Chain A
Amino acid sequence: MPLKAEEIQIFYEISMSIGSELDCRSMLKEALGKYLRKLNLSASCLLRKVATGEGKFAFEPYYRLPKMSVLNRASQMVEARIDSEYDQAGIASLQAELPFTVESSAGEKAYFFDLPDFGILVLVKSEGSLRQSTVRSLAPLNRKLAHALSACLQKEALSRSEERLEKANEQLQEWNTDKLSFIQYISHELNTPLNWIGSLNMIEEETLSPDSQRCVEFVRKGFLRISKLAQLASDYFEKSRLNWPGQPTQVLLAALREELRSRFESKAQVKGVPLTFEGDWSGELSLDAKGLLEVLESLIENAVGFSDFGEAVKVELAKGGETIRFRVEDQGVGIEPNLQGAIFKPCQIPEHKRTPGGYGFSLPCARLICEANKWSLKVESEGLGQGSCFELTL
């Protein structure tokens, strides 16, 4: 017998309720609630097929409406019909029987339906019965329900993975903080023996023999370099531990340009490196002024430091929409492509790339300042001897 128009409308309504949410429990509450209401049923129980080992399977209650098993006739009728365990052949035989009906002594009818790749859906009707055509026509709805359940379960598995990942990430952050604190502590503790060495400064050199004076001079130079390294390392680790932007203050761009010019002009002249400032340096900004100055100083210091006589350094400011871009371009030694990432990490620059007295902390520090302020710092270089261009975008 074909379905009546009213039945088709009811199936449509049930169908629309399936998969409306990706949370398993909410989806089932909505969908099974609709099954029960529209088909005028009194209980439902959803059984999930689970492997119990050694090729055996069981059907475990996954969701009930009503929720409590003592109040759920479907649950009670499942116990009377479904075995506690099945082997492969038993499962195949049970599934071949579906859908089937079980009638209780009180005249209630429990309809058992296949939920492909998931398990079994049991619906109980307390009074009257469902027509055979209705039972058969529920199969596509049940398939949709099974697919929706799979999607919900996949989403739940994904959420659990995300949670695990997030926890692992938190753990990594914690370990990183521990590591930085350890290094900072060691770096700080090195100051004590350094100070003892530094006390050589107090020796009256005239009282020493010429050989001893030379020894003291060597020790003094070594002390200065170790002190500088300790200070740089300490600054870097302090920045990476704190990791927040500095207080915003007003910066007049023209004043910034003049400060940079006065800081580097004479050094550039001494090296014979032409240093120019270009672009529109009018106006003012409110930002981490100290951080900005430190980043730009590092970039210009490096540009001048890695350029030889006649190789020009250009510092350019470009404004576009809401972005402000500083470009520091040189014609110096350039950077090999495989080192363009490493230069922003501490202690990863090969020794032959370092300037005298440089330890490779300035660009890592600049990166930390940029990250804390959410600025972008990038480098472009076509390779050795091709110069380089650093771009800072605010």
Chain B
Amino acid sequence: MIVRRDKSVSIEHFGQSLDEVASSEGVRFVLILACDANDYSPEAIDPILKRQTVPLIGGVFPAILSGSDRWEEGFVIVGFDQAAKVRTVTGLSDLDADFEKTLESIDVDLAKAKTLMVYVDGLSSRINALVEELFAVFGLEANYIGGGAGSLSFEKKPCVFTNDGLKADCAVIAFAELEAGIGVSHGWRELAGPFEVTEADRNKVVSLDWRPAQEVYQETVRSQAGASFEGVEFFEVSKGYPFGISKLGSEKIVRDPISLDEDGSIVCVGEVPTNAFVHVLAGDPESLIGAAGEALRRAEELFRGEPESRGILLIDCISRLLFLGDRFRDELIAMSPDGDVPVFGALTLGEIANNRKDYLEFYNKTAVVGVLQG
């Protein structure tokens, strides 16, 4: 595994580093994690991506992680020695797109693919549908790790790296012959509920317990946590009180309420199904940081490769940074193992992960640690 890190926003530096990593002996595929602030345009970056002969995967994120540092400018490029087939799924917001058919048409030897890396445009509207079809078509025989790329400004723009260039509204999937152990945890706890989702439209919650969702939610947060939405941006308060969807014998699936729609419904990152029961959750820095450490512990426990040659891929939700503020560094430290192990990752808009045991999910506000074979 070759890891090249650079805090520069320069496209020349990026091109030079990518050329070097991709042409290094033994490198079979390349993961690219870059910062939104680099402001790469497809016109400038596409020729660099297109000239590579090894498969590429990755995305542009609000911030990236290098060791226990968070960078808001720069890039990390990782070259893997293991082979991978990389495929792109386009039209991730297209209501008519048949992802099942698209995924079934991918010609790949699933017996060899031990890990599926999946990066999606985090602002696409049908990520859940893709994740469900990934499960339906490829099952749980491989690990999954990845997340949503994009900008914290929520402006839709090209953010997914492919060999065809920097693309928007798509997913890129690497079927990698890469041994991995994956750990997932979030640390959010029940504050109030349950509330029945009596009406929802994919990622919009319209009503809870037959009342306008916004009314129930704000009332609950005010009465149970003493937090008021008066005169502040919705997300300033809601970032600390996500929804949790119940799942038997497992941590709740978190849904991040990010804004209010014109009709008063609550817009979340990820789908909230009608008839689900949700709790309003709350967390504190200790519970979140503790969960991040738990994600590392689980990943290490499940890793079956050689420990001395491993690398750590962190997929951590950007909203955990917004919630933890200065304590976020403690979370990164908790997610990083002791010793000289390369650690890299990204702050994402939603996380995709699975350890071959649980139902495959698109998570929010969750810490994911991938221990990868170096």
Contact = CB atoms under 8 A, between A and B. Distances in A.
B357 A42 contact: yes
Given A37-B247, A38-B247, A42-B359, A9 B136 contact: no
Interface stretch (B88-96, B170-178, B273-281): B273-281
B277 A66 contact: no
A65 interface: yes
A67 B249 contact: no
Interface string A1-19: 0000111011011001100
A71 interface: yes
B248 A66 contact: no
A336 B202 CA distance: 65
A392 interface: no
B358 A40 contact: yes
A40 B136 contact: no
Contacts of A128: 249
B247 A67 contact: no
Interface stretch (B21-29, B31-39, B137-145, B261-269): B137-145
B157 interface: no
Nearest to B275: A16
Contacts of B246: 6, 9-10, 38
Nearest to A17: B275
**What's the interface size class on B, roughly?**
20 to 34
Interface residues of A, number: 31
B194 interface: yes
Nearest to B277: A9
Q: Report which residue of A16, A39, A66, A70 has the largest number of chain B beta carbons within 10 angstroms of its beta carbon.
A: A66
A66 B132 contact: no
Contact of B139 (A17, A33, A66): A66
B140 A42 contact: yes
Given A71-B110, A126-B357, A40 B135 contact: no
B356 interface: yes
B275 A13 contact: yes
Given A42-B358, A66-B137, 13 more contacts: A5-B194, A13-B275, A13-B276, A13-B277, A36-B359, A41-B359, A43-B140, A65-B135, A66-B140, A67-B136, A67-B137, A126-B140, A127-B357
7 contacts: A5-B194, A12-B277, A65-B136, A66-B138, A68-B137, A71-B140, A126-B356
Interface of B: 110, 132, 135-141, 194, 196, 246-250, 273-277, 356-359, 361
